[in-house]
Amino acid sequence: MQIKVQPMGPYQTNCYIVTKDGKDIIIDPGVGATEWVKKNVTNPIAILNTHGHFDHVWSNAALQKELGVKLYTPKDDVMLLSSSSWMPDLPPSTPDVEIDGDEELDLEGIKVKFRHFPGHCPGCSTIEIDNAMFSGDFIFEKSIGRTDFPYSSPQDMKKSLEKFKQIPYDKTVYPGHGGSTSIKQEQQYSDYWIQQL
């Protein structure tokens, strides 16, 4: 499995392309991601959103149209794809598939696991493919997603961190911003963040 990453837009939001068995999966195509994605995929099969914030979904609609692939978005964040109080000029997008909570998918033979970790926003999720977890804005290196935005919930974030602590294995974590880390490393800080919320 190969992972390409490119920080996009003013918030340097990581857009990922995961290539396995000659198939490309695009994760979180943010502001200005369309051209980079088109140059770096040969056989795209899906676009996945970790959550619905504008800096992660900006190029959804353009890539759906240009690549002709399905968009998968957590159900509880679908309302964020058509309007943003921060970015009124957000290009609206409509998912082909709404992910409901924790779901496992088989995308042309590639196993994809969504885990629902609300708090930063209602649909906030991680996406696991093989030995990688794409954590969106739930978990970062030595940090967590903010809980002071519209639709954020510190109470939900506490529950999500408790759930995260229970994951019994380790994988490399690729966040929505910044560099990679690991599940085991960030589990060490979960209690600290729970106390801070």
Q: Convert the pLDDT of each residue in 89-122 to its tens digit.
A: 899 999 999 999 999 999 999 999 999 999 999 9
Q: Rounded to an integer, what distance in angstroms lies between the CA atom of residue 116 and that of residue 99?
A: 9
Mean pLDDT of 74-84: 91
DSSP state of 91: P
CATH 3.50.50.60 fits 2-196, yes or no: no
Q: What is the pLDDT of residues 14-67, one digit of tens each?
A: 999 999 999 999 999 999 999 999 999 999 999 999 999 999 999 999 999 999
Asked whether the predicted pLDDT for residue 88 surpasses 90, the reply is no
Asked whether the predicted pLDDT for residue 84 surpasses 70, the reply is no
Q: What is the reported pLDDT for 136?
A: 98
Sign of CA dihedral 77, 83, 87, 89: positive
Domain boundaries, the chain: 2-196
Whether the Cβ atoms of residue 6 and residue 114 lie closer than 8 Å to each other: no
Sheet holding 23-27, edge to edge: 2-8, 13-20, 23-27, 44-48, 70-74, 97-99
Q: For the whole model, what pTM was predicted?
A: 0.97
